[in-house]
């Protein structure tokens, strides 16, 4: 589990095509300070497992299913990626509960800069619309963000200077793909309502 608070921007150092998978090599510092083999690190919001570990690099194997369902398929050497270690029992939950299980891929539709923040509009796959609400939480490339507004096919977020400076959303361009993970609580509530014979009583 993660909180959607990006710890650092890593750099894709290499991509090895393995046919039905790829092996990503990522350069990093902060997330490797206490990493070990088998540990979980979120890369642009995708939970990946540390396969090999060096002093300033680590690798992860990305299966075909993950490549099909996320924006990781578009990564190239030199790209910067958002990194976050899995939470511990003593971690402050600064964002919201993020599993690292991507629900879908959106695209940057527009960016509207202002003096102190930037409003970004992101397309929303139809099957995810019901889980996104105004002032609710959503993870975009692993970043915990608050939804400002939502329509039938898109939502907006306001990015503060800290987010722009420390995450990949600072340089994502219009048309770029981003990984989306909606609130897990909303999905559980929906299932309870749909599968309960009497629904949830008020």
- Both tokens of 196, joined, read 């309960």
| Distant-in-sequence, close-in-space partners of 165: CB < 8 Å, separation ≥ 6 | none
Across 155-176, average pLDDT: 96
Across 142-151, average pLDDT: 96
Lowest mean pLDDT among 44-48, 88-92, 197-201: 197-201
* pTM score, whole prediction: 0.91
Question: Does 201 have pLDDT greater than 70?
Answer: no
Question: Does 39 have pLDDT greater than 80?
Answer: yes
Question: Does 198 have pLDDT greater than 70?
Answer: no
Which conformational region is residue 135 in: left (phi greater than 0), alpha (psi within -120 to 50 degrees), or beta?
left
Question: Does 127 have pLDDT greater than 70?
Answer: yes
Q: What pLDDT, on the 0 to 100 scale, is given for residue 128? A: 96
Q: What pLDDT, on the 0 to 100 scale, is given for residue 154? A: 98
- Residue 77: how many CB atoms within 10 A of its CB? 11
- Pairwise CA distance, residues 90 & 31, whole Å: 17
Q: What pLDDT, on the 0 to 100 scale, is given for residue 53? A: 96
Q: What pLDDT, on the 0 to 100 scale, is given for residue 200? A: 53
Q: What pLDDT, on the 0 to 100 scale, is given for residue 139? A: 97
Q: What pLDDT, on the 0 to 100 scale, is given for residue 186? A: 85
CA atoms within 13 A on the CB side of 142: 28
Dihedral angle computed from the Cα positions of residues 54, 12, 1 and 55, in that order, rounded to the nearest 10 degrees? 10
- Pairwise CA distance, residues 38 & 17, whole Å: 21
> Where are the extended beta strands (E) located within 55-176?
57-63, 80-85, 104-113, 118-123, 137-140, 143-150, 154-159
Q: What pLDDT, on the 0 to 100 scale, is given for residue 156? A: 98
- Residue 200: how many CB atoms within 10 A of its CB? 8
Spatial strand order in the sheet of 52-53? 46-49, 40-43, 80-85, 8-17, 21-27, 57-63, 52-53
% of the chain at pLDDT higher than 90: 82
Q: What pLDDT, on the 0 to 100 scale, is given for residue 92? A: 80
């Amino acid at each position: 589990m993660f909180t959607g608070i990006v710890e650092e921007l890593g750099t894709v150092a290499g991509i090895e095509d393995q046919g039905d998978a790829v092996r990503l090599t990522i350069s990093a510092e902060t997330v490797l300070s206490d990493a070990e083999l088998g540990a979980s690190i979120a890369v642009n919001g995708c939970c990946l497992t540390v396969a090999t570990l060096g002093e300033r690099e680590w690798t992860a194997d990305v299966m075909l299913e993950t490549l099909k369902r996320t924006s990781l398929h578009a990564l190239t050497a030199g790209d910067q990626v958002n990194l976050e270690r899995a939470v511990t029992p003593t971690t402050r939950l600064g964002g919201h509960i993020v599993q690292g299980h991507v629900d879908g891929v959106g695209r940057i539709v527009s960016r509207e800069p202002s003096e102190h923040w930037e409003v970004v509009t992101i397309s929303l796959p139809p099957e995810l619309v019901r889980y996104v609400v105004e002032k609710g939480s959503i993870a975009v490339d692993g970043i915990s963000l608050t939804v400002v507004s939502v329509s039938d096919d898109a939502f907006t977020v306001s990015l503060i200077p800290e987010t722009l400076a420390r995450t990949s959303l600072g340089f994502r361009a219009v048309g770029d793909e981003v990984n989306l993970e909606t609130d897990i609580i909303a999905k559980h509530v929906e299932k309870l309502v749909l599968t309960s014979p009497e629904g949830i009583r008020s």
